[in-house]
Amino acid sequence: MGKTAKIILAIVGIFILACLVGSVLLARFGKQKFGEVVQEAQRQSVEARAWARTHSQGDCINEGMSRVQACPGIQCQLAVQTFTSTCLSAASRTPDLCVGVPAPQDFMGTSQWINTRCAAFNGPQSAPGEPSMRCRNLLPVLQRHCFAQVMIASPDAAVSADAAAP
């Protein structure tokens, strides 16, 4: 084996070793972060159930919007999504909460609905910046809640809604 081949093999070996070490470190970091996210989600669920005892589902959405606007990052936004989802399930019912909420499969309707709702929460002159994106990330929680209520109330309604969607 020539000198060039040995150098190439050494470089490939070092690269493979670096990839293995990097993978192990990334796995450890990911496991630690995942554990933190799970703990925060559990904490948010407990807090949401307690908060929901004295609030309505509409209050849950407003509280979620307030909380998400103060979020510095994705981990916080995930926690607020957990809070809002749990709160919606535990709070007293708001009768008109799901009026006008499109099915998740209605992509155009969903986009228009989110734009309208976020403009209402952030103000009509709000720029499409960070607050708008935070709102856009939270509203699907309400959409999933409403669609789940339709599925519970009438599983056939979801099928007919899919058939009626363009």
Give tens-digit pLDDT for 51-99. 999 999 999 999 999 999 888 888 889 899 999 999 999 999 999 999 9
Answer whether 165's CB lies under 8 Å from 105's CB. Answer: yes
Average model confidence (pLDDT) for the chain?
Answer: 82
Whether residue 154 is predicted with pLDDT greater than 50 in this model: the reply is: yes
**Domain count for the chain:** 1
Question: pLDDT value at position 27?
Answer: 77
pTM of the model: 0.69
Domain that holds residue 101: 3-164
Name the residue among 36, 46, 85 with its Cα closest to residue 63: 85
Of 33 and 3, more confident: 3
Confidence of residue 163 (pLDDT cuts 50, 70, 90): very low
Residue 115 region, left (φ>0) first, then alpha (ψ -120 to 50), else beta? alpha
